[in-house]
Structure 1
Amino acid sequence: MTDDLPPNPALLPAGLRDLLPPEAETEAASVETLMTVFAAHGYQRVKPPLLEFEDSLLAGSGAAVADQTFRIMDPDSQRMMGLRADTTPQVARIAVTRLGNVPRPLRLSYAGQCLRVRGSQLAPERQVSQVGLELIGPDSPQADAETILVAAEALASIGLTRASFDLTLPMLVPSLLDQAGIAGADRIMLGRALDRKDAAAVSRLGGALAPVLTELLLAAGPADRALAALGSAKLPDLAGALARRVAETEAAIRAADPGLRLTIDPVEFRGFRYETGVSVTVYAPGRREELGRGGRYICGENEPATGITLYPDAILRVAPPRAPRPRLFVPHGAETRAALAALRADGFATVAALAPVDDDVAEARRLGCSHILRSGKAALLDSKG
């Protein structure tokens, strides 16, 4: 009988991973680039804690992510704490408590890590990076449009200029089903049919709503086509108000950026359950993975808010590759502080030898350097050394 092998120290739990060079630096630089764009539009950065008491973390909009939240016992207070699964509820808490008296509209931004109980088939990661902005106070199409336009500008700043923004109305289908009295198993089956974009099943299960739901289902796609279907559907009450709102939001976006890639899916209702109005999902062309998600919600008890969260992990998988910082080998004893400071200001990473070596060029190559310091200047390592 043999002893069990010792555990592999590189083995991590499912959905968690180490981010290595140069990806870790690339992600950090991209996050700061996104945040710089947010700041330029007046969004001020906040930094919520990673852990909060469970009763405050999961209050209000936080209840929507309760099933994705890890809980631990605080050994100090003996109260349950939660590890955030989404940052937006924390920003909402800050807005109504610590910043409750700050004039509105209140523009806040954030960047940080979240941990979720489980990933999805398309996004199996359980630790996710988030970069987002929240616009709190106004309830208008212009506010909805602003968050989308700023997010588009931020994505363009890291080279992602062809992102597509899919506008959705998570409350439209539930409001129609409520009014039609569709509940229980019938509602579940109809919801699944809509989620699968199964027009035949929607027609069979939708009852009196079937013609409207089928028309809206088939209209998903380019904004003009979807808006025409929403306008002709003569939707009642809340559904009608949502249809008008998405049309006004689309018009506000087009007025500012006519070339932005916009689609509308009138019957899409997935997403965070705290979303109450026009919502948005961000995609890269030809990819199903979400680059970001956001929309309108209630901040605190009754304050309107809207925002968008971008996912750097997903964004970097589709963004143009970022050129790594060139590494410059500095032979032992050759450095001058002023010269090296100037080279770092020019974008080089200086890698200093800590002791003399027999072959500086070989050592430079061994350490992954592309340049070597010669006569106070950066010299490119040629193939011959």
Structure 2
Amino acid sequence: MKKNGNQALLPAGLQDLLMPAAAHEAEVVRRLIDSFSSEGYDRIKPPLLEFENALLSGAGETLSDQIFRLMDPSSHRMMGVRADITPQIARIAASRLQNAPRPLRLCYGGDVLQVTGSQLRPERQFTQVGGELIGITENAADAEVILAAVTALEAVGVKDLSVDINLPTLVPAIAKEFGYDAEQALELRVALDRKDAAEVEKIAGEHATFFLKLLNAAGSAQHVIDYAKDLEFSGVAAKEFAKLINVVELVTEAAPKLTVTLDLVEHRGFEYHTGTSFIFFAKGVRGELGRGGRYDSVSVDNVTEPATGFTLFMDTVLRALPKPKVARRIFLPHGTRRDEGAALRAQGWITISGLKPVENDRAEALRLSCSHLLENDHIHELGNN
């Protein structure tokens, strides 16, 4: 078959997922969803396209630059391709499921498309799998979604998991209490996020010592909790920190072997979050396995309710897993009865049927990447020669 380079070329950040990777991804997605479902998360399936205003409401507000847009020829309204599924879940919860009992547990799996990739994730199309817990403010909900994700990831074979828990509302609360205006608070938050001590000292002024100490509040969970207690948070910041401590306690009690770290000034990527947030990592694996946290679920009609949830990124999850086992493929020479193939398939074999007579069934089986050959009603394992 002749190759046509121009027709085979794909845009940057897009790829064809071939065998066996495509089947492996589908199987892992199924197992993740099964794990969520076993904890009461009902699967829903939002559309790939929506009207632009729906995609950009609530949690989707920060995604404006990442959405591909097109004109709907039917309604003449602007539509967008989803860049994240979470805003769609919020819309469904606040509209079609507004009368469903709370807390509402939903899960999903599907592809998203973004305008640009990043250094850590150059892919612009990838699969998201996740869960949302909507309509409850208790700290137990934050702990539940973290543990649900951890349980599912471990179930599919991810090793050496860790979760980095953050509190993106802490710095804004402290800045407000210290009397910084909105511009100063934003500059300070950015400097802290970049771990830029010199810039933090310059912006913080008389409170520089406090914020430089806060900058170092990162590491193992218990170490950070003990360290941060000396900072003597007050007001809203103290309440937020107390919630964080409780979530950490609930998570570590339920999963004592899980590595839990804290970073009290991390904010990048959590712009729409309103409380405890988190990122999942696996030792030796590039990039995030997933992330999530607490947010306000806001509908197009500005109906708001508390929510928390997580999203797993399948491209990274698959990198954290061992290569899939090679499937047992057996070649059925031309003329093999259909019921013989059915019996083998019932035993778990993948059958490849010969559609015409060939001179050498063994050679044909090897050519078609089969591991076994059915010959004279016997199964023969094939070597590489």
Normalised by the length of structure 1, the TM-score is 0.93
In structure 1, C-alpha distance between the alignment counterparts of 2:153 and 2:137, rounded to whole Å: 25
What secondary structure does 2:7 align onto? coil
Identify the residue that residue 152 of structure 1 maps to in structure 2: 150
> Structure 1 150/122 Cα, relative in aligned 2: closer, same or farther at 3 Å?
same
Deviation at 1:376, TM superposition (A): 3.6
Judged with a 3 Å threshold, the aligned counterparts in structure 2 of structure 1 residues 222 and 342 are, in CA distance, closer, same or farther, namely farther
Once the two structures are TM-superposed, the CA of residue 236 in structure 1 deviates from its matched residue by: 2.5
Matches within 5 A, 1:120-159: 120-159=118-157
Give the aligned partner of residue 335 of structure 2.
333
Given that 2:189 and 2:265 are in contact with CA atoms closer than 8 Å, whether structure 1 keeps it comes out as no
Percent of matched pairs sharing the same residue: 48
Residue in 2 that maps onto 1:261: 259
Change (3 A) 1:375 1:105: farther
Q: Indicate the larger mover: 9-18 or 231-240.
A: 231-240
Give the Å deviation of 1:188. 5.5
Give the 5 Å matches for 1:149-298: 149-183=147-181, 187=185, 190-298=188-296
Q: Identify the range of structure 1 (261-270 vs 213-222) with the bigger mean alpha-carbon deviation.
A: 213-222
Q: Which residue of 2 aligns with 1:350?
A: 351
Per-residue CA distance 1:24-57 (angstroms, 9 max, x = gap): 1111111001001001111000000001111222
Deviation of the 1:87 alpha carbon: 0.4
Secondary structure of 2:60's partner?
helix
Q: d(CA) in 1 for partners of 2:185 and 2:320?
A: 37
What secondary structure does 1:9 align onto?
helix
Provide the C-alpha distance between the structure 2 equivalents of 1:255 and 1:346, rounded to a whole number of angstroms.
42
Distance 1:129 1:206 in 2: 41
Deviation at 1:372, TM superposition (A): 1.1
> Is the counterpart of residue 77 in structure 1 residue 78 in structure 2?
no
User: Contact 1:331/1:360 (CA < 8 Å) preserved in 2?
Assistant: yes
Taking a change above 3 Å as real, the CA distance of residues 216 and 361 of structure 1, as seen in their structure-2 partners, is same
> Residue type matched to 2:222 in 1?
D
2:10 matched residue in structure 1: 12
Contact residue 231 and residue 243 of structure 1 kept, 8 A = no
For residues 165-203 of structure 1, the C-alpha deviation after alignment (integer angstroms, 9 at most, x for no partner) is 110111112222333344577556544432232334433
Question: In the TM superposition, what is the alpha-carbon distance from 1:59 to its structure 2 partner?
Answer: 1.6
Contact 2:252–2:260 (8 Å) recurs in 1: no
Aligned to 2:35: 37
Q: Please give the alpha-carbon distance, in whole angstroms, between the structure 2 residues aligned to 1:18 and 1:226.
A: 44
Q: Are 1:297 and 1:305, in contact at CA under 8 Å, matched by a contact in 2? A: yes
**Shift in Å, 1:204:** 4.1
Deviation at residue 358 of structure 1 after TM alignment: 0.6
Structure 1: distance between partners of 2:160 and 2:108:
24
Residues 215 and 229 of structure 1 are in contact (CA less than 8 Å); yes or no, is this contact kept in structure 2? no
- The CA deviation at 1:215 is 2.0
Look up the SS of the partner of 2:47 in the other structure.
Answer: coil
Q: What SS is found at the alignment partner of 1:103?
A: coil
What are the Cα deviations for residues 130-183 of structure 1, in whole angstroms up to 9, with x where unaligned?
000001111111100111111111111111032111101111122223333445
The whole-number CA distance in structure 1 between the counterparts of 2:377 and 2:219 is: 59
Instruction: State how far apart, in whole Å, the 2-side matches of 1:62 and 1:188 are.
Output: 20
Task: Name the CA distance, whole Å, in 2 between partners of 1:277 and 1:342.
Answer: 55
| Selected match of 2:310 from 308, 311, 316 | 308
Counterpart CA distance in 2 for 1:202 and 1:255 is 35
Q: In the alignment, is residue 380 of structure 1 matched against residue 381 of structure 2?
A: yes
| Paired AA for residue 107 in structure 1 | R
Please provide the CA RMSD for this pair. 1.9
Partners of 1:90 and 1:383 in 2: CA distance: 50
Whole-angstrom CA distance in 2 between matches of 1:282 and 1:200: 30
Contact residue 137 and residue 304 of structure 1 kept, 8 A: yes
Residues 7 and 76 (structure 1), Cα distance of their counterparts in 2 relative to 1, 3 Å cut: farther
1:3 equivalent in structure 2: none
Partner of 2:20 in structure 1?
Answer: 22
- Deviation of residue 373 (structure 1)? 1.4
- Structure 2 residues without counterparts, runs of 5 or longer: none
**Residue aligning to 2:113:** 115
Query: Structure 1: which amino acid aligns with 2:367?
Result: R
* 3-state DSSP of counterpart to 1:293: strand
1:321 Cα shift? 1.9
C-alpha distance in structure 1 between counterparts of 2:342 and 2:143, whole Å:
44
Name 2:62's counterpart in structure 1.
Answer: 64
Length-normalised TM-score, structure 2: 0.93
Asked if 2 retains the 8 angstrom alpha-carbon contact of 1:166 and 1:280, the reply is yes
Greater mean deviation of Cα atoms: 181-190 or 34-43: 181-190
Note the alpha carbon deviations across 1:3-39, whole angstroms, 9 max, x for none.
xxx8611111111111111111111111001001001
State the aligned residue count: 378
- 1:289-345: CA deviations, max 9, x gaps? 1110100011123311100000111111121222132221111112442x3233223
